[in-house]
Amino acid sequence: MYYVNREQIAVRLQSIAEIASALQFLAANWQGTLLEGLAQERALHLAVETVTDVGSFLIDGFILRDASSYEDIIEITGEAGAFPGDMEKTLIELVKLRKPLVQDYYVWKRTELHPLSHTLSTLLPAFKQSVEDYLEREL
């Protein structure tokens, strides 16, 4: 029997509604202000961390192969069926933002709306539902 930390997965999945809502609001009302740029950066960063945290809990709980990168977390959980295959490309694109957001923040273009801001407002809730369905199926 696996020990999957459902409580910690649920805590992280609960944050998705707020992140998706913030990204949707920003995408719909974008004017390129500094405050919007900073809010977008934070929302994108939270999206990255949420998706990778959930993926890591799934990998640990179901004893899947070890991940060597953030992209690997997405590939492994995708192969396991935690979300539909058509989400994988966008989720990999999302996790590739971690380095620019966390390490190269000083060159981030804050006045530009990132294309993922609009996409993630619908993809993240779908990811949440897929993970919850996966947990119900597997446990």
Residues designated catalytic: 98
DSSP 83: S
Q: How far, in Å, CA of 27 to CA of 24, rounded? A: 5
- Tell me if 62 sits within 8 A of 73, measured CB to CB: no
Helix (H, G, I), strand (E, B) or coil at 16: helix
In this structure, the number of other CB atoms found within 10 A of the CB of residue 82 comes to 25
